[in-house]
Amino acid sequence: MRASLRKTVAEEIKHYMLDNRMRPGDPLPTEAELCIALGASRSSVREAVKTLAALDIVEVRHGHGTYVGRLSLSALVESMTFRGMLSPDDDFQVYADLVDVRELFERGNAERIIHALDPQHLDTLEGLVDEMERQGSGDGDGFVASDRAFHALLVEPLGNELMSQLTLAFWDVYAIVSPHLNLMTIEDERVTVDVHRRIVEAARAGDPVAFVAAVADHYAPVRRRLAAARARD
């Protein structure tokens, strides 16, 4: 009964945000004001806010109040990562699914991406590839950060916020699960740098065929290693 009440109050808080056309970062009424507005007890409002905070729908800033959250996909990242950690079989399946989705986003939108990328975007992408090459195996975190930024910027000019969020969410799960499968090698990093550079060159040349081929080559090594790892199991 208590869980049902918490869910009901959480839904009412979401409706309140919608009815008042609130946006990320806007302050919510105080806990006492929400109790009055929703006709709910203080404990019910508090538990509902905790539920919404876990989903990034609201953000609790201690000492300052409660605000509309970033509405990110952090809950999706956590749930998919946890699923992947539960067993090796799930690990492989999550990883394979993520490779499929990431490649689908980039290959399926090749022409739109090429059209949307302006010279400044392309220069920034090229700079990220240079940074990946400099980092190499010397600083795994630096390499990973540049790789993540590259794929985020690749779809950002499309102006599709959901696609941008999904791209980063899937990339984050991919990066968290990957080390547990021991699928990447130093040679893979060299290939990664090369295909990222080819992606930029194809985009700069306005060549969707070369772009798609480079994206496919980007994911090919990990597909091969994933298949080999599954065969060993």
List, as one string, the DSSP characters of 24-82.
Answer: TTPBPPPHHHHHHHHT--HHHHHHHHHHHHHTTSEEEETTTEEEE----SHHHHHHHHH
- The 10s digit of each residue's pLDDT in 18-54 is 899 988 889 999 999 999 999 999 999 998 998 888 7
Topology (CATH level 3) of domain 2-68:
Arc Repressor Mutant, subunit A (1.10.10)
Q: pLDDT for 132-184, tens place per residue?
A: 988 875 455 678 889 889 999 999 999 998 888 888 887 777 777 666 666 55
Residue 116's pLDDT is 96
| pLDDT of 230 over the 80 cut | no
- Inform me whether the pLDDT recorded for 205 exceeds 90: yes
Domain with CATH 1.20.120.530 in the chain: 74-232
- What is the reported pLDDT for 193? 92
**What are the C-alpha distances in Å from 195 to residues 19, 28, 34, 50, 134?**
47, 46, 53, 43, 15
CATH 1.10.10.10 in the chain: give the residue spans.
2-68
Of 11 and 98, the structure prediction assigns the larger pLDDT to 11
DSSP 160: -
Mean pLDDT of 99-125: 93
- Taking each helix axis as running N to C, give the angle between helix 88-108 and helix 140-155, from 0 to 180 degrees, rounded to the nearest 10: 40
Fold for the domain defined by 74-232: Four Helix Bundle (Hemerythrin (Met), subunit A) (1.20.120)
Angle at 98 (CA atoms; ends 150, 204), nearest 5 degrees = 30
Sorted by sequence, the CB contacts under 8 Å of residue 99 that are 6+ apart come out as: 174, 219, 222, 223, 226
The percent of residues above 70 in pLDDT, for the chain, comes to 81
